[in-house]
Amino acid sequence: MAAKKLLVDCCIAAGVLATAWHIFGAGLRARPADREKHLLTPVVDVGVQLPIARLWVSGAKRTVVLMLDVRCQPCLRSRPFYSEVSRVVAGLAPDVRFVVLTEDPEAVAGKWLDDGGVIGADIVTIRTRKTLGFLGTPTLLLTDSKGVVTDIAFGALDRSGGERFKSRVRDEQGAEPLRMSYSIAEVSAKQHPEIDSIVGRQLIDARDRLEFAKAHSPSALNIPRDELTTRGPAELSRSLPVYIDCRYDDQGECRVTGSLLGDAGFVKVVVVLR
């Protein structure tokens, strides 16, 4: 009996060792590109389902989602457009609904919306937009009945983009979806110090020259944000990822910088959080 028990124990131990070796070996075999991919925080994009159940259990065919921060200046400039969108949605209810996600207290967000004439919005307070994968504010989305993103716009829309978005809300035939022509991801340098060996010559610091002179990464290239659209295409490769050395107190500033790079033709931007 003792011999049988010993044999069973040996088999179990061998199985544990084999499993451990398989996991460890897979880690050793991972290619650099795979390791980089796993460092990145997912960001909301077309085809991604928002992880908020109440967005798609309502039975609405489409949902307009606005990520709002009442202190955000682009949000304030876009408020008249949000008022227009809210009226389009009101005319299509209950097939279409309007949801505002915010880290602000519901009463504060509600007053901001009321002051701007935005009607009929369901306000959903969240702890942090970062865990949901939002780049920053304002982010405007359109989702299908299951909460899967079909259209996305980050920042203020121009008149043409605004009309396109309203056409998509109405589900008009031939209306082209809105989506960003670039992707933005995030990685924590504290959790993944090896990121500094990946960035190469594509690491930029977009703070002003005075802040850059006080402290910066040795390999970072200083391109102040107001010079990005002119210097970026001249000094950086569009065919490679661009890394933003994020040293702002407000990390949302880095995401705004990322959107400027995207608008300048850089298809992959990574924010390195310090």
pLDDT digits (tens, 9 = 90+) for 173-191: 999 999 887 888 888 899 8
3 or 81, greater pLDDT: 81
Q: Which tens digits make up the pLDDT trace of 217-241?
A: 998 999 999 999 899 999 999 889 9
H or E element, residue 235? helix 228-235
Ordered strands of the 96-102 beta sheet: 122-125, 96-102, 62-68, 139-143, 149-154
Q: Quick one: 53-170 is in which CATH superfamily?
A: Glutaredoxin (3.40.30.10)
Distance CA 246, CA 145 (A): 36
pLDDT band at 42 (very low <50, low <70, confident <90, very high): low
The DSSP output letter for 242 is E
Q: Which residues contact 56 (CB under 8 A, 6 or more apart)?
A: 49, 63, 143, 144, 145, 146, 147
Give the start-to-end residue ranges of the domains of the chain.
53-170, 183-273
The percent of residues above 70 in pLDDT, for the chain, comes to 84
Structure tokens at 23: 């996991």
**CA quadruple 71, 266, 227, 205: dihedral positive or negative?**
positive
Q: CATH number for 183-273: choose from 3.40.50.2000, 3.20.20.70, 3.40.250.10, 3.40.720.10.
A: 3.40.250.10
Burial class (CB in 10 A: 0-12, 13-18, 19+), 202: buried
The DSSP output letter for 97 is E
* Amino acid sitting at position 171: D
